[in-house]
């Protein structure tokens, strides 16, 4: 069974299932393995939620080729692009020399959103903290931000393939 030959709806449903599984695993890591996410991890989760919602919308309405399909595909692509940017920044922080890693601020994202204006929160999140640079989990030698980067790229390319190809 060739997934590249699946219908738009089937491909977008598969994208939704992937996003849901990734978010489910993230919740397992947080609550089951007791590893608290850093602010950059939370932003990556938000990007997966955004992509998942538009994958699900595309799977439900299954628009014929036209502006609605392009819009749906573009929104998934936007989520993937933001996710690639955040995950790439996270990977960069993990590879900084120890003396260049920002000191831990100890603030959670929810607190920062309550206490500071949005622009300040964004600056603080992308400045990062020591928590963002720690590597607590690896699979096949790659950290979780590297895996999320791989998934953002794969899901983004898959969405573009499904949305831009001509049906047979």
pLDDT at 21: 96
Interval 17-42 mean pLDDT: 89
DSSP secondary structure of 17-74: HHHHHHHHHHHHHHHTS--PPPHHHHHHHHHHHHHHHHHHHHHHH-PPTTHHHHHHHH
- Rounded Cα distance between 129 and 127, Å, is 7
* Reported confidence tier of residue 62, pLDDT bands at 50, 70, 90: confident
- Rounded Cα distance between 53 and 143, Å, is 26
For the chain, the domains span 8-164
- Rounded Cα distance between 6 and 166, Å, is 12
Q: Is the pLDDT of residue 2 over 70?
A: no
Q: How far are the Cα atoms of 38, 120, 144, 146, 147 from residue 140, in angstroms, in the given order?
A: 22, 36, 11, 11, 10
Conformational region of residue 129, where left means phi above 0, alpha means psi within -120 to 50, and beta covers everything else: beta
User: Would the pTM count as exceeding 0.85?
Assistant: no
- Other beta carbons within 10 Å of 14: 17
**Percent above pLDDT 90 for the chain:** 35
pLDDT tens, position by position, 11-26: 899 999 999 999 999 9
Interval 64-74 mean pLDDT: 83
Interval 49-61 mean pLDDT: 93
Helices 8-31/144-164 angle, 10° precision: 170
Find residue 139's DSSP bridge partners.
Answer: 142
Interval 34-52 mean pLDDT: 88
Q: Is the pLDDT of residue 130 over 60?
A: no
More confident residue, 123 or 27: 27
Helix (H, G, I), strand (E, B) or coil at 15: helix
pLDDT at 129: 54
Q: Is the pLDDT of residue 168 over 60?
A: no
8-164, what's its fold? Bromodomain-like (1.20.1550)
- Rounded Cα distance between 55 and 36, Å, is 27
């Amino acid at each position: 069974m060739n997934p590249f030959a699946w219908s738009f709806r089937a491909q977008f449903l598969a994208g939704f299932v992937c996003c849901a599984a990734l978010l489910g695993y993230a919740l397992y890591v947080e609550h089951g393995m007791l590893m608290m996410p850093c602010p950059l991890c939370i932003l990556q989760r938000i990007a997966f939620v955004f992509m998942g919602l538009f994958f699900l919308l595309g799977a439900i309405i299954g628009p014929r080729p036209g502006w609605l399909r392009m819009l749906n595909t573009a929104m998934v692509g936007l989520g993937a692009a933001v996710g690639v940017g955040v995950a790439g920044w996270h990977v960069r922080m993990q590879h900084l020399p120890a003396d260049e890693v920002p000191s831990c601020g100890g603030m959670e994202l929810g607190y920062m959103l309550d206490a500071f204006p949005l622009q300040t929160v964004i600056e603080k999140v992308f400045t990062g903290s020591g928590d963002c640079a720690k590597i607590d989990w690896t699979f096949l030698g790659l950290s979780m931000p590297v895996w999320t980067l791989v998934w953002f790229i794969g899901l983004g390319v898959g969405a573009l393939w499904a949305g831009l190809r001509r049906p047979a």
